[in-house]
């Protein structure tokens, strides 16, 4: 019976060694992960207020852009009305095309900023 007891003990020792290796590996993982997490959280605490300020500033920029685009649309409508009354092609008026192009670019930038603000 003694041989059987030794075999059981050896199997238990083998299992204990596997568990020990697994525990050590997990412990090593924590040794790496904890400092990285502490650094990220520290960075986040520093950046979070700056990010909120940026989002607030972006909202102000978007609102101001809405106002400017609205004014641009009124000017464009006036150009189109006058060109119609005069019987000329509004697209031949250089400043009309420049205003349209500037409004399209500004609108595209505004949309990009709005999408970024939604990521918060």
Alpha carbons 85 and 118: distance in angstroms, whole number = 44
pLDDT of residue 8 exceeding 70, the answer is no
Task: Estimate the crossing angle of helix 2-86 against helix 94-118, to 10 degrees.
Answer: 160
Mean per-residue pLDDT, 37-63: 94
pLDDT of residue 23 exceeding 80, the answer is yes
Tell me the pLDDT tens digit for each residue of 90-99. Answer: 999 999 999 9
- The owner of tokens 């412990």 is 27
**pTM beyond 0.85:** no
Residue 40 has φ and ψ, to the nearest 5°, of -60, -45
Mean pLDDT score of the chain: 90
pLDDT of residue 3 exceeding 60, the answer is no
Tell me the pLDDT tens digit for each residue of 55-79. Answer: 999 999 999 999 999 999 999 999 9
What pLDDT, on the 0 to 100 scale, is given for residue 5? 57
What pLDDT, on the 0 to 100 scale, is given for residue 107? 95
Secondary structure (DSSP) of 62-105: HHHHHHHHHHHHHHHHHHHHHHHHHT--GGG-HHHHHHHHHHHH
Overall number of domains in the chain? 1
Where in the sequence is the domain holding 108, given as residue range(s)?
A: 2-118
For residue 88, the Cα-to-chain-centroid distance in whole angstroms is 46
In eight-state DSSP terms, residue 51 is H
């Amino acid at each position: 019976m003694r041989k059987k007891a030794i075999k059981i003990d050896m199997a238990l020792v083998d299992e204990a060694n596997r568990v020990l290796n697994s525990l050590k590996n997990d412990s090593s993982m924590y040794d790496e992960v904890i400092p990285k997490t502490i650094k990220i959280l520290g960075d986040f605490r520093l950046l979070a207020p700056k990010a909120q300020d940026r989002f607030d500033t972006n909202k102000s920029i978007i609102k101001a852009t809405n106002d400017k685009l609205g004014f641009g649309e009124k000017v464009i409508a006036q150009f189109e009305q006058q060109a119609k009354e005069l019987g000329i092609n509004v697209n031949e008026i250089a400043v009309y095309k420049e205003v349209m192009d500037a409004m399209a670019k500004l609108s595209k930038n505004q949309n990009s900023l709005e999408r970024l603000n939604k990521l918060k």
